[in-house]
Amino acid sequence: MAEHTQKGLTANTLKIIAIVAMTVDHLAWLLLPGYRTDVLTLSLHAIGRLTAPIMMFFIAEGFHYTKNIKKYIFRLFLFAFISHFAYAMMFAKNFIPFQKTIFDQTSVMWTFALGLVALAVTKSENPKLKPWHKQVIVWVCILAAFCADWSSPAAVIIVYMGIHRGDFKKQMLWFMLWITSYAVVYAIFLNPVYGALQMLTALAIPLLHSYNGQRGKLHGNGMKWVFYVYYPAHLFILGTIRILGLVPSR
């Protein structure tokens, strides 16, 4: 049955916005490397703050709509593995993590995958999983996300967005609470200006509020695979450009 057009933004439109914003952000890291504080660089990174909230939101939405949670989880971990190497190429990381630091060792896909597992366990009705079993698994997932892009708070946000699905205000309240914690840690350990910049993820809230609950024109395996494929693909391309020395070194 065809979807009736409603006012607002479809899931596919929001995902395309996320992809464009992510590309702008990563191009800024490539062409304007380092923690620059000029207006142009900060503006480009501000646009990039739209991506993570949109994708966290739709990880939780995907959990609600998926017919096979095991396949969904496997898909995220598969692309987390592929994206690790693309992320390392783009951001000059070691393929083997934890050689110099524990921070930012792999891509956000790892965080998303762990957040999905934590949400699935939290919402599980499997009688074999006792409450303390769930707590242990969820905490392991959250701690395991610490080393990745967007870190543990992003995994927690996915859980809370899933728990409070249908209550947008609560979703966004928990989102901003955990983003604030991420911004503080970022400011202390990485860069204070860029820590404050993370708070601009709030710019995604009006976009998410306009979500009309519809998927959009692209159905089936179309849009579902676009982000999965585009994310590592564009990082591989940008990483290759960086390695070839066609842009300023980081």
Kindly report, residue by residue over 181-192, the tens digit of the pLDDT.
999 999 999 999
Which of 234, 241, 240, 201 is CA-nearest to residue 79? 234
pLDDT at 221: 56
Give dist(CA 132, CA 124) in Å, integer. Answer: 13
pLDDT at 225: 83
Question: Over the stretch 97-109, which tens digit does the pLDDT of each residue have?
Answer: 998 888 899 999 9
pLDDT at 13: 94
CA-only gyration radius of the chain, Å: 18
- pTM of the model as a whole: 0.94
pLDDT at 6: 74
Residues in the chain predicted with pLDDT less than 70, given as ranges, are: 1-5, 218-223, 248-250
pLDDT at 222: 64
Give dist(CA 194, CA 183) in Å, integer. Answer: 8
